[in-house]
Amino acid sequence: MKRLKLIVFMAIMSGIIQLAGQAKAQKVIAGQALSAKDKSIIAISSLTAKGRLKKLKTELNGGLNAGLTVNEIKEILVHTYAYCGFPRSIRGLQTFMKVMDERKANGIKDDLGAEASPIKSDSSKYERGKKILGELTGTPQPAHLSGYGAFAPAIDAFLKEHLFADIFERDVLTYTQRELVTISVISAIGDAEPMLQGHLAIALNVGIAPMQLKSFIDVINTNIGEKEAYAAQKVLDEVLKNRK
């Protein structure tokens, strides 16, 4: 009888430990999950890059409902132009204007959110951009240009002064959110694996977890397609392998 009670007790304790372990695992996974806002950022950015305006309209509504402010979405759409050009970005903004008009007509009042703060610095835009790029990559920027920057110094100046100073320095979106926009656009347009590799590494540097990047691939698959998701997954696998 005592033996039977011991067996029952051990079985109960084993079940409790197993349940506790599962709860802990679920908590860890939940902590690494993309939020609804994150998923909206990915969907809005990638659909804008592809020019899929009908689906974009749906996702813009979804983004507002998920808690993105009007100014955050504007900033997302503005940011996309740096990676997919003015035509796609402007069409995205025009689509958002229609969404806002419809929501207003339906009596929906959306949160405008904060506007970008003025930049106060005595440093040149080039130096500010260089510093920001160093923060994003986690490595100091070299004193001398190399690669495409040395081949065409103008593009290096445009990248540091405009992309990383004028755009990344704006505080409406965090670095993390801007990297979500960036990798979403690059994945959607395709055939830019070296750029995607670099920005996936930056995404990890600014705090996006590997599990979140795997979820990012799922969002690309759902909104853009298997081909683009597969290509992005290959690049992500390589980045994670090199990081180990």
Q: What is the set of domains in the chain, with CATH numbers?
A: 35-115+172-243 (1.20.1290.10)
173 secondary structure, DSSP code = S
CB 63 within 8 A of CB 44: yes
Tell me the C-alpha to C-alpha distance, in Å, between residue 28 and each of 20, 21, 31, 208, 237: 12, 11, 5, 14, 21
User: Each residue of 180-223: pLDDT tens digit?
Assistant: 999 999 999 999 999 999 999 999 999 999 999 999 999 999 99
Q: What is the pLDDT of residue 244?
A: 74
Q: What is the pLDDT of residue 98?
A: 98
Q: What is the pLDDT of residue 9?
A: 45
pTM equals: 0.86
DSSP 94-148: HHHHHHHHHHHHTT------PPPPPP--SS-HHHHHHHHHHHHHTSPPPSS--HH
CB 40 within 8 A of CB 58: no
CB 60 within 8 A of CB 97: no
Which residue stretches of the chain have pLDDT < 70? 1-31
Phi, psi (degrees; rounded to nearest 5) at 95: -65, -40
Q: What is the pLDDT of residue 3?
A: 52
Question: Which tokens hold the place of 48?
Answer: 């804008």
